[in-house]
Chain A
Amino acid sequence: MNQGVKVTFQKHLENVEMNVDFIAPSHGITAIFGRSGAGKTSIVNAVSGLLSPDTGKIVVNGRTVFDSTQGTNIAVEKRNLGYVFQEPRLFPHYTVQGNLNYGVREKDDEYFNSIVELLSLEPLLSRYPKGLSGGEKQRVAIGRALLSKPDLLLMDEPLASLDLPRKREVMPFLEMLSKKVKIPILYVSHSLSEILRLADHLIVIDQGKVVSDGKIEDVWSSKVMRPWQSFSEQSTLFSATVSKHNLEYGLTQLQFVEGLTFWVQQVDAEVGSTVRLQIRANDVSIALDKNEKSSIRNILPARIAGIEYQHYGDNKKSVSVKLDLNQGCYLWATITKWALDDLKLEEGMQVFAQIKGVSVSQRDIAIANL
């Protein structure tokens, strides 16, 4: 069983003062998110050994790879980490098979075949990197890193160098990867949509420091993420289980917690599987009583847990209302100040949250690996 990653370090860099402290859990994708220049890449470089911190301690899977107090600084090649860079960095003089096998220590045909299958590399094996598309190259790079059987996989914006169609081509492989691979993955990104689909945990970095760290559902709705979510983008993330499908109406019922269910557009997932869904705050409205004669299918009782006033520019104003659906299960709703005053909403009030089932569709849902 992998023991995860503990990272604490300080490093003086030219344009940013790094002071990082976080723990990445033993499985799943931990996304490191932040503006460019915030020091995201420096973090994975410090973990990989390509960058030596000034002070601190880095422990990967129970093994101390860097400790300034002990003078420990294990060389890059001895850290047993996989690193997928922004650009594929394939060796031009090796075939795809040669690239894949470069980091292999002990031959393991079964594992090789499983990775080749996972990333659909079979037809590429005998080719040279030169003739491959960007997406294919990046898949080979991912396979190459995995085949060295690392304790930790580092990915530094692996999709950033690809155009949109190539991104769409590689994304499903990354989603599959997070489910199949039993090692922690540190995934650097500045793309919200990638994080939404891939990450289980989220670490937000700003000016070299961790400003938020936790399960993506928690971090996503927190204040830290506001600057990245524009007026229409504020949303809540949920993990839910598929409880049944209604084929006649093309709908799927999801369950957040016991007794709290929700209808959405039909989802391609088996009953019992876990999905992550995003509910945009703009699609949530608030009613004082339960209006049965409504086209809205999802009406959930809730308590107002908080009210925040938002200002976007000079003339865009709105109110974000935090609704407590069930102990610890929060939903954000964006309403107008007018509606707030009219309904006399205040903290602690019992209300009903209304969500149009038609507004949540497959693209807001990621099949998560929980």
Chain B
Amino acid sequence: MLSDYLLSDYMLSDYELTALLLSLKVAAYAVVWLLPVGVILGWVLARKEFVGKSVLDSLIHLPLVLPPVVIGYLLLISMGRRGVIGSWLYDWFGVSFSFSWRGAVLACVVVSLPLMVRAIRLSVESIDIKLEQAAKTLGASPIKVFFTITLPLTLPGVITGVMLAFARSLGEFGATISFVSNIPAETQTIPLAMFTFLETPGEEMAAARLCIISIVIALLSLLTSEWVSRRVRRRLGVSQ
């Protein structure tokens, strides 16, 4: 029947659904791991002076300028099952990144780190240090100052960082494919699935469908982050 045909045509296929859910899962895990790391590094770079600060800053920014395939290669030789750190992790904790969705998460974490740290660092730098001083004179310990003043006021930067890191993770391709390969249902996110279709003659239509899915989730995440950050800014009394 005509209606059945149309309905199934508009629905996501199992294959597409798997790739979409995997993409979302990998990006979400990457963001969760990035959050504490990004907040700590962003705060340290904004507020602390120490020897080797510019080296740390450069290291964090490296993934922004290196070709993703280089990052994938570096991850493979360091974090792979036989890699320097990877073999040690496997022996002691039984954790393996090779050919697993966890490896895809790690690749996303590394490539998104500079975006997250940068956004948070700028936000911390924009906080008036005088507010923290005022909190101290009111008897707040450094921990209380951080959690009640610094962190809440950094929130707009954290949201921007989360949005950028999430979007970057959804689009991650080069580092993932060279580190954990292109395995359906394990490491095959939407960009990798699209690459597979493009490589297969006669599957242009399937690639186009994935393209539309990509655009839709990208737009949704942009709109969500815009909405959240507007609410937060209003709550913080920052007009923007």
Q: How far is the CA of A76 from the CA of B239 in the complex (A)?
A: 31
Q: Which residue of B lies closest to A92 (CB)?
A: B237
Secondary structure type dominating chain B contacts: helix
Q: How far is the CA of A91 from the CA of B134 in the complex (A)?
A: 9
Q: What is the total number of residues of chain A having a CB less than 8 Å from a CB of chain B?
A: 25
Q: What is the distance, in angstroms, from A122's C-beta to the closest C-beta of chain B?
A: 21
Q: What is the distance, in angstroms, from B57's C-beta to the closest C-beta of chain A?
A: 29
A102 interfacial by beta-carbon distance below 8 Å:
yes
Known A87-B130, A91-B131; judge A77-B137 contact (CB<8 A).
yes
Cβ contact within 8 Å between A148 and B134: no
Q: What is the distance, in angstroms, from A145's C-beta to the closest C-beta of chain B?
A: 7
Within 8 A of B (CB), among A142-156: 144-145, 148
Cβ contact within 8 Å between A93 and B137: no
Q: How far is the CA of A75 from the CA of B148 in the complex (A)?
A: 19
B46 interfacial by beta-carbon distance below 8 Å:
no
Interface string of B131-164 (1 = CB under 8 A from A): 1011111111110000011001100000000000
Within 8 A of B (CB), among A78-104: 78, 80-83, 85, 87, 89, 91-93, 102-103
B235 interfacial by beta-carbon distance below 8 Å:
yes
A53 interfacial by beta-carbon distance below 8 Å:
no
A105 interfacial by beta-carbon distance below 8 Å:
yes
Cβ contact within 8 Å between A91 and B135: yes
Which residues of B have CB within 8 Å of A81? Answer: 137
Q: What is the distance, in angstroms, from B231's C-beta to the closest C-beta of chain A?
A: 12
Q: Which residue of A lies closest to B239 (CB)?
A: A130
Q: Which residue of B lies closest to A95 (CB)?
A: B237
Cβ contact within 8 Å between B152 and A144: no
Cβ contact within 8 Å between B238 and A92: yes
Which residues of B have CB within 8 Å of A128? Answer: 237
Known A85-B130, A129-B237; judge A92-B153 contact (CB<8 A).
yes
B236 interfacial by beta-carbon distance below 8 Å:
yes
* Choice from B133, B142, B152, B239 contacting A93 with Cβ under 8 Å: B152
Known A77-B141, A85-B130, A87-B130; judge A93-B136 contact (CB<8 A).
no
* Choice from B134, B149, B237 contacting A85 with Cβ under 8 Å: B134
Within 8 A of A (CB), among B219-240: 235-239
Secondary structure type dominating chain A contacts: loop
Interface string of A13-43 (1 = CB under 8 A from B): 0000000000000000000000000000000
Known A77-B141, A102-B140, A103-B139; judge A93-B153 contact (CB<8 A).
yes
Q: How far is the CA of A91 from the CA of B140 in the complex (A)?
A: 13
Within 8 A of A (CB), among B39-57: none
Known A92-B153, A130-B237; judge A82-B137 contact (CB<8 A).
yes
Cβ contact within 8 Å between A77 and B239: no
Most B CB within 10 A of own CB, among A80, A87, A102, A105? A102
Q: How far is the CA of A150 from the CA of B238 in the complex (A)?
A: 30
Q: What is the distance, in angstroms, from A112's C-beta to the closest C-beta of chain B?
A: 15
A48 interfacial by beta-carbon distance below 8 Å:
yes
Cβ contact within 8 Å between A83 and B153: no
Q: How far is the CA of A130 from the CA of B234 in the complex (A)?
A: 10
Q: What is the distance, in angstroms, from A108's C-beta to the closest C-beta of chain B?
A: 15
Which residues of B have CB within 8 Å of A102? Answer: 135, 138, 140, 148
Q: What is the distance, in angstroms, from A9's C-beta to the closest C-beta of chain B?
A: 18
Which residues of B have CB within 8 Å of A80? Answer: 139
* Choice from B138, B153, B238, B239 contacting A103 with Cβ under 8 Å: B138
Within 8 A of A (CB), among B113-133: 128, 130-131, 133
A181 interfacial by beta-carbon distance below 8 Å:
no
A358 interfacial by beta-carbon distance below 8 Å:
no
Cβ contact within 8 Å between B139 and A77: yes
Q: How far is the CA of A48 from the CA of B136 in the complex (A)?
A: 10
Cβ contact within 8 Å between A48 and B137: yes
Which residues of A have CB within 8 Å of B128? Answer: 89
Q: Which residue of A lies closest to B232 (CB)?
A: A93
Task: Give 18 A-B pairs besides A50-B137, A89-B128 with Cβ atoms closer than 8 angstroms.
Answer: A76-B133, A76-B137, A77-B136, A77-B138, A77-B139, A82-B137, A87-B130, A89-B134, A91-B131, A91-B134, A91-B135, A92-B153, A92-B237, A103-B139, A128-B237, A130-B239, A144-B138, A145-B137
Instruction: Please give the residue numbers on chain A whose beta carbons come within 8 Å of chain B beta carbons, in ascending order.
Output: 48, 50, 75-78, 80-83, 85, 87, 89, 91-93, 102-103, 105, 128-130, 144-145, 148
**3 nearest interchain CB pairs?**
A103-B138, A130-B237, A92-B237
